[in-house]
Structure 1
Amino acid sequence: MERWDRVGSWAAYGAAWALTPYALVKVSWVVLAILGAAPIGAGFDLLGWVLLNLVTIGMAALGIVLALALVRPWGMRIPGRPLAFCAWTGAGFLVSVLPYFVLSAVLRLPSAPGEPGGGGEPAMPGWEAVLIQCSFVGTGVGLAVALPAYARRRRPELFAGRVGDGAARTGVAWPAVVGAVIGAVWLYWALGGSWGIDHAARWNGDGYLLMGLGALWALVGSAAVWTLERARPVRLPRWLPLALGWLGSGSLFAWSAWKLALTVFVALAEPADALPPENLAVAGVLHCAAVLAGAGMARRLVRSRTAVA
């Protein structure tokens, strides 16, 4: 087994193991809440709290199966597209929050409502919070490494050689351009820009940090796709921009798809306590564009070819 395959295997098993403590913590919350031995989250009744955690337990189980599919032989017999889509979106969600957990702990930033550790969760012992954060970090790192390794096994021709081995495409790589523009706008907001912001008072430290990390992955993914499209620099190993392109496009697609649904809900329901800092129309347009750009970038990566003799 080649070194890259070994690393991918360790990463996939690590991602599966990392999610196990999270699932066990959630199971304990359900059992203890039913027995009346633990509090339920703010704003929930018992039924709603149990259903919410059963959903997250199911998601954790799906994540464990997904991680194992990236390394076990039976994973090669599963249709590649649905498996790759699930891993792509899962890794896209998690790669943005990995630096957030580290930096927020170092900088002691408060968690935003709706983020892990934020509003809606009951007070928990410190060891539970550490287990949950380690689960997210471990799963994110594992999927970020295991997904390119799995894709390399299924489509080795995409990863072979160097960037300059293929012919440059003509025309504009529109997903990369759109992704770069979106990343630039998010970076502008993360640095304190006010255009397109209606409720600046709702920004806090973790909001700026998460926005900046989303901008970073949008720019990284766009640069990776542009590099492959233009076949420059010629000596760069092809696997590097492919891996970064997968993660960047997945982050664009996954986060903006979720935020688009949330933006539509806020626009229709108009809850006063859930208004985002951004203007809803501007945010909606950006998230629509980001979903299309992320999907377009992934399509270009899948269709890329090498011309190695």
Structure 2
Amino acid sequence: MSRRATLPVGGRVVGMDLSADRTLRPGLAALAVAATLPYLTLKLLWLCGSTVGMVDPATAEDPALWLLNLVTFGMDGVAALLALAFARPWGQRLPAGLVVLPMWVATGLLGPLLLALALTAAATLLLGGEAAPAADGFLRPWVYLLVYGGFAVQGAALAGAFGLYARGRWGGLLRARVRDLPDTATLPLQRVLVGAAAVLALPVTAAHLYWCLGGTTGLSADTVDGRGHGFTSLQGVWALAAPVAVAALAVVVFRAGPGLGLRGPLAAVWTAGGSVFGWGCWVLLAGGLRTTAPDPAKAVPPATHLLGAAEADAGLLILVVGAIALIEHASARADVESAR
């Protein structure tokens, strides 16, 4: 028989299958860690001076590329550590912020890639194939397969492991409804910040939609030359992220549909908001290093920097509002439980 634990939720007792959790979560975590190893190995080789997978060995001499490789190596290393935290007892004792913030960013970075990969595959089946990715003269085709294949497995496994982790650690909080959120003194501020995020989301959505539909203004010459199904799919996903995140957060802070479960809007804010923040920060970081690229065709235009700044700011506002709402909700639940 499976063992079940009970958690009090709003005066009720909710069962949770612990035996399945103990089996599935470590398996998903192990799969996520395994999926990072090829990518981490490739990045480590490049950091050590290897040119494996590169079409032009001179590419490895670019200092900006070396720094980007160092950053991305660290990011995937953090993802592996998160996976371990979801499966080990010490992960339950970590401060919530050390788990939630990096996982939010990881979801925002990997989630759009997973969706874009699926859309790209569908577009390829319907519209036909395209030239190999190595047409840009940078990387061999097998590198793209290794990297994006690993991201697909890693993203799915990491999301599954975190879902089980969150259910075990914050299950009662996530089963609440919109009407259960307290009307605190910060609610007017939350609504103002959501309005500000909506204003920032307008140009972000318009720019990504413009590029998705074939526009070229604001893109580097190298990006324009390399556009294909993958680029179009990713731009379309990014165009949806900001309005979805803002709309879902507005449901929460304006108490729209009070009987609605909190889990749905939170999932939308989590995924779409993480995408807005994560990719906005990535554009600022990677674009800043490539502004003065040796090859003018690869230099990042100022319009891309402005877009990244708007995305990062909108994502930060979403993070602040979401954090305030959840912290106040958790505090109110704790007060109710302690009063019983």
TM bin (shorter chain): 0.7 to 0.9
Aligned: 1:235 with 2:259: yes
* Equivalent residue number for residue 296 of structure 2: 272
The alignment partner of 1:304 has SS state of helix
CA separation of 1:283 and 1:10: change in aligned 2, threshold 3 A:
same
Q: Does 1:202 align with 2:202?
A: no
**Rounded Cα–Cα distance in structure 2 between residues aligned with 1:284 and 1:45:** 24
Distance 1:251 1:286, change over 3 A: same
Q: Which residue in 2 is equivalent to 1:261?
A: 285
Counterpart in 1 of 2:31?
14
Structure 2: unaligned runs, 5 residues or longer: 5-15
Give the 5 Å matches for 1:138-287. 138-156=153-171, 158-167=173-182, 169-170=187-188, 171-172=191-192, 173-174=194-195, 176-178=197-199, 180-192=201-213, 194=215, 197=218, 202=224, 204-205=227-228, 206-268=230-292, 271-276=295-300, 280=302, 282-287=303-308
Task: State the partner residue of 1:89.
Answer: 105
More moved, 85-94 vs 161-170: 161-170
Residues 18 and 194 of structure 1, relative CA distance in 2, 3 Å threshold:
closer
Q: 5+ unaligned residues in a row in structure 1: which ranges?
A: none
Percent pairwise identity: 26
Q: Aligned pair count?
A: 297
- Residues of 1 paired with 2:219 and 2:145: CA distance? 35
Q: What is the CA distance between 1:151 and its match in structure 2?
A: 4.3
Distance 2:44 2:294 in 1: 34
Are 1:98 and 2:114 counterparts? Answer: yes
CA distance in 2, matches of 1:47, 1:290: 27
Give the AA of the match of 1:163.
V
Considering only CA atoms, is the larger Rg found in Structure 1 or Structure 2? 2
Structure showing greater relative contact order (alpha-carbon pairs closer than 8 Å, 6 or more residues apart): 1
Query: How far, CA to CA, are the matches of 2:132 and 2:153 in structure 1?
Result: 19
How far is 1:157 from its partner?
A: 5.3
TM-score scaled to structure 1, two decimals?
0.75
Q: Is the CA contact (8 Å cut-off) linking 1:178 and 1:290 kept in structure 2?
A: no
Looking at structure 1, the residues matched to 321 and 155 of structure 2 have their Cα atoms a distance apart, in angstroms, of 24
Distance 1:287 1:123, change over 3 A: closer
Give CA deviations for 1:136-184 in whole Å, capped at 9, x if unaligned: 1011123334445444544455413122332564443235414532442
3-state secondary structure, aligned to 1:70: helix
Partner of 1:136: 151
Amino acid at match of 2:91: G
Quote the Cα distance in structure 2 between the aligned partners of 1:50 and 1:298: 30
| Pairing 1:120–2:138 present | yes
1:40, 1:46 within 8 Å by CA — same for their partners in 2? no
Quick check: 2:212–2:233 contact (8 Å CA) kept in 1? no
* 2:10 aligned partner: none
Aligned to 2:313: 292
Is 1:62 paired with 2:78?
yes
